[in-house]
Amino acid sequence: MSTRYKNLSEYNAEFMPDKETVSNQTYAIAVADWNPQITHTMLQGAIDTLVLVGVNPENIRVVHVPGTFELTFAAHQLMSLNKYNSIIVIGCIIQGDTPHFDYVCQSVTSGITELNFRKDACPVVFAVLTTNTLQQAVDRAGGKLGNKGIEGATTALKMANIVW
């Protein structure tokens, strides 16, 4: 994850799967439209990274959902199609004055974790920002701490290509 000590948007291409391998792979991205100034920037970072590494743009499906809470359902639906090498979920939850933040964070984290435990699962990558302030989100969505969408794409590529 991006912190003030490490920016994972800067990845080493040497450790990425080769273009020949990923050119025929398919990836899905579920993105929350709540806080779109953040999530849509992360989405673009994820798409750009997948394409740069060699994924055919036609093999990237993007699904928009209203908010971060709905990402688990979208990921589950995409997973049930059995056609994606990996799924990335992109969202942004910013602390407010009510416990809503805690409930949404816990629910989405648990939901995505549960999907990854399924026997028939493809990797579902958690690219959800959980920040105290809007500025912290901006810093992690193309700002001084990188773009968590790029991090999500690099993670998806690596997880989809784990060789056993």
Residue 62's DSSP bridge partners are 29
b/e per residue, 5-32, with b = 16+ CB within 10 A? eebbbebeeeebbeeeebeebbbbbbbb
Closest CA to 136 of 90, 91, 94, 98: 94
Active site residue 100: yes
Looking at the annotation, which residues are catalytic? Answer: 100
